[in-house]
Amino acid sequence: MLVLGVESSCDETGVALYDTEHGLLAHALYSQVEMHAEYGGVVPELASRDHIRRVLPLTETALKEANKTLQDIDAIAYTQGPGLSGALLVGTSFAESLAFSLQIPTIQVHHLEGHLLAPLLEENPPDFPFVALLVSGGHSQLMRVDGVGEYELLGDTLDDAAGEAFDKTAKLLGLGYPGGPALSKLALSGKPRFKLPRPLLNSCDLNFSFSGLKTSVLTLTNQHQPLDDETKADIAYEFQEAVTEVLTTKCMKALRETGLDNLIVSGGVGANAKLREKLNVATKRKLCTVSYPRLEFCTDNGAMIAFAGAMRLKATHGGNKNYGFSVKPRWNLAELLKP
């Protein structure tokens, strides 16, 4: 089965072709980061308009790269939510109308399920069950994954998501959008000079809380005005240390409590080199494994949607042919969880 995947939930248009027998055949991505950078964040209306411009050429590029035609496609998977409604509508209407014209089924994919399964696109993926750390701009969750669609929430953020904390702290330090990559780059030249709290590090649950960290950074920046480059780098260094230490500690606790020995990490913050370094060391010490998506599949992309769609197609034996145009901007992950 050849599945076309379409992602348009935020500021990246992603299209990919996944073959259930031969794996990922092609993927094409356009990031709107430069366009939104001058506004310091995503402008929803500009995002939707740009998705309209990109989705068809990207599909043509992916088909060409895979040496396939539209007629070869067996099903179309697309991100139905959560995300920006106008942006989601572009991918949804494109996918549904193309599927209608080809009379093939569609699969509505939850964006986070795409992220969650992305590490399985790589070589030697771990077997189910495993623990998943999902750390994106909107989510910080630990889950037990027993199979496709078999998810149990182990821990969640009580306030800001990890990526959100990176973005907000980057803003406080006067760095550009998106904040995560900029902050981690600056942290490379920082030194251990400040001490920030490690929120909920020793709590008895697997929850996270990052908004207090941002407030502590605000206090630090106020105390050191005007901020020189060295101070900014030292704050970035310590902030990254604090977030990655909490994430690593909770991942190890989740492995211990579930008795599982495989961890997967996904979502934009999963691209963070310091987090990977700490998780590699910690899991090795406990004879556990850790898997990540390749860097380009940590952030939004079409490959993870094509893959999740293919897995869903297999699990539900079909997809559907309703060809409706509804999006779910606030689609709650809880709807995918085991009751």
How far apart, in whole angstroms, are the C-alpha atoms of residue 296 and residue 224?
Answer: 36
Tokens of 191: 């030194």
Q: Determine, following the binding rule CB under 6 A, whether residue 231 of this chain makes contact with ligand KG4.
A: no
309 binding partner (options ligand KG4, Zn ion, none; Cβ < 5 to 8 Å by kind): none
How far apart, in whole angstroms, are the C-alpha atoms of residue 256 and residue 51?
Answer: 43
Beta bridge partners of 337: 151
How far apart, in whole angstroms, are the C-alpha atoms of residue 318 and residue 322?
Answer: 12
How far apart, in whole angstroms, are the C-alpha atoms of residue 63 and residue 65?
Answer: 5
The greatest distance separating any two alpha carbons of the chain, rounded to the nearest whole angstrom, comes to 63
Q: Determine, following the binding rule CB under 6 A, whether residue 137 of this chain makes contact with ligand KG4.
A: yes
Q: Determine, following the binding rule CB under 6 A, whether residue 167 of this chain makes contact with ligand KG4.
A: yes
Task: Please identify, using beta-carbon distances, which residue of 105 and 302 lies nearer to ligand KG4.
Answer: 302
Among 272, 302, 312, 331, the residue binding ligand KG4 under the rule CB under 6 A is 272
Residues across the chain: 339
Tokens of 213: 């960290």
CB atoms under 10 Å from CB of 327, counted, come to: 25
Task: Please identify, using beta-carbon distances, which residue of 141 and 231 lies nearer to ligand KG4.
Answer: 141
Interior angle at CA 259, CA 256 and CA 260, nearest 5: 100
φ and ψ of 115, to 5 deg? -60, -45
Tokens of 206: 């697997």
Closest CA to 142 of 127, 130, 126: 130
Scanning 21-29, 72-80, 163-171, 314-322 for contacts with ligand KG4 by CB under 6 A, the matching segment is: 163-171
| Residue span 248-287 as binding mask against Zn ion, x where in contact by CB under 5 A, dash where not | ----------------------------------------
- Residues of this chain, 114-153, that bind Zn ion according to CB under 5 A: 136
Q: Determine, following the binding rule CB under 6 A, whether residue 181 of this chain makes contact with ligand KG4.
A: yes
Q: Determine, following the binding rule CB under 5 A, whether residue 216 of this chain makes contact with Zn ion.
A: no
Task: Please identify, using beta-carbon distances, which residue of 19 and 238 lies nearer to ligand KG4.
Answer: 238
Q: Determine, following the binding rule CB under 6 A, whether residue 269 of this chain makes contact with ligand KG4.
A: yes
Q: Determine, following the binding rule CB under 6 A, whether residue 180 of this chain makes contact with ligand KG4.
A: yes
Among 17, 271, 279, 303, the residue binding ligand KG4 under the rule CB under 6 A is 271
| Least distance in angstroms from the C-beta of 220 to Zn ion | 29
- For tokens 């961890």, what's the residue? 263
Q: How many residues bind ligand KG4 (CB under 6 A)?
A: 19
Residues in contact with ligand KG4 by the rule CB under 6 A = 115, 136-138, 163, 166-167, 178-181, 184, 267-269, 271-272, 299-300
